[in-house]
């Protein structure tokens, strides 16, 4: 069980405080990184400042006793319908572009060869992109398959997956869009979701059957790669202090014994003022506001009631194993 290592503020001291807090309450961190497209377009061993930063973050995480779980991400984390950081000179991004395919695969291979991770994700919330760009979906799937095979040749023990946005998948007319997951079979070592149900249910937490269809559909191991519910209202969604605890209990009760890993989005809340300059686009900042109060501690590290719920569930799941 773990978190994204997202600091409350974009400061070195804040990052260290977040990692120390995670180290007291978790076993893992999820390191989700966008592809450095130009650096890796030709060579998996290319020099990259961003990869050097990742090496340092892995070191800091391991110093806190945390296992890194990696996700290679081609898309904008605040808008999964769009790519992130592709050079403008490359034109309109597509998973059919040989440069994008090489860079994605090379970056994944660099991570595998450097860290020999137990878990590696190839893409995040990919069903959102596939639904928005059905013409490009076959290219995304074929790139996943090619990269999966390359990763397995380099590190057969690494368990490889991509992640699916469960709330969107579940809300499809007629029931979950299973074909968007099953297009990746049999090259899914586990089925991995993200879930932010309070954003989809008008500020309410999930009910008793919310995740049951997922557990019934596959006998693969399951995992949660990100998710949460806010404890305070935003300008666009109501919230309550009880919602994060209800969310955590729903995951534990419905999926707990099947989970290979479980990542909650934020250990601590985010100070949006600190993030404003880094985010840039006002639309993305408004989206970030929906997530900024999902921490199990506030921006100054003071625990919320849901942190006790998390700790209790973590103890219980560890006892079962």
pTM: 0.95
* Lookup result for tokens 């090259």: 187
| CA gap 111, 109 in Å, rounded | 5
Domain boundaries, the chain: 2-320
Paired tokens of 119: 């878990």
pLDDT for res 320:
82
pLDDT, tens digit, 9 for 90 and up, residues 26-66: 999 999 999 999 999 999 999 999 999 999 999 999 999 99
Paired tokens of 170: 């579940």
Question: For the packed helices 12-25 and 305-320, what is the interaxial angle rounded to 10 degrees?
Answer: 50
> 2-320 belongs to which homologous superfamily?
Glycosidases (3.20.20.80)
Query: Are the beta carbons of 261 and 1 closer than 8 angstroms?
Result: yes
pLDDT profile of the chain (321 residues), mean per 10: 97 97 98 97 94 98 98 96 97 98 98 98 98 98 98 98 97 92 97 96 90 95 97 79 96 95 98 85 84 96 97 94 72
Query: Are the beta carbons of 194 and 124 closer than 8 angstroms?
Result: yes
pLDDT for res 118:
98
Q: 204-237 in b/e burial notation, b at 16+ Cβ within 10 A?
A: ebbeeebbeebeeebebbbbbbbbbbbbbebeeb
End-to-end CA, the chain = 13
pLDDT for res 182:
97
pLDDT for res 43:
92
| Rounded alpha-carbon distances, angstroms, from residue 60 to 33, 55, 63, 247, 268 | 16, 9, 5, 29, 18
């Amino acid at each position: 069980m773990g978190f994204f290592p997202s600091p409350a503020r974009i400061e070195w001291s804040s990052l260290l405080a977040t990692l120390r807090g995670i180290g007291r309450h978790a076993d893992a961190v999820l390191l989700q990184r966008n592809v450095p497209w130009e650096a890796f377009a030709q060579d998996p061993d290319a020099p990259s400042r961003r990869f050097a930063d990742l090496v340092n973050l892995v070191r800091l995480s391991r110093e806190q006793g945390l296992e890194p779980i990696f996700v290679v991400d081609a898309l904008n984390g605040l808008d999964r319908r769009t790519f992130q950081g592709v050079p403008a000179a490359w034109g309109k991004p597509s998973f059919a572009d040989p440069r994008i395919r090489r860079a994605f695969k090379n970056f994944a291979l660099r991570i595998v060869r450097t860290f020999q991770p137990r878990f590696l994700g190839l893409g995040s919330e990919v069903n959102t992109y596939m639904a928005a760009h059905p013409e490009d979906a076959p290219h995304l799937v074929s790139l996943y398959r090619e990269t999966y095979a390359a990763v397995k040749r380099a590190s057969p023990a690494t368990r490889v997956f991509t992640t699916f946005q469960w709330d969107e998948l579940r809300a499809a007319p007629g029931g979950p869009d299973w074909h968007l997951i099953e297009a990746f079979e049999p090259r899914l070592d586990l089925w991995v979701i993200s879930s932010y149900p309070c954003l989809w249910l008008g500020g309410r937490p999930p009910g008793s059957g919310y995740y049951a269809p997922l557990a019934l559909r596959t006998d693969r191991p399951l995992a949660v790669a990100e998710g949460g519910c806010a404890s305070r209202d935003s300008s666009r969604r109501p919230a309550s202090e009880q919602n994060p605890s209800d969310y955590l209990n729903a995951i534990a009760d419905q999926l707990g014994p099947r989970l290979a890993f479980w990542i909650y989005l934020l250990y601590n809340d985010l100070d949006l003022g600190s993030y404003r300059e880094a985010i840039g686009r006002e639309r993305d900042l408004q989206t970030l506001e929906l997530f900024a109060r999902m921490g199990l501690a506030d921006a100054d590290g003071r625990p919320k009631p849901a942190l006790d719920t998390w700790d209790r569930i973590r103890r219980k799941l560890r006892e079962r194993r």
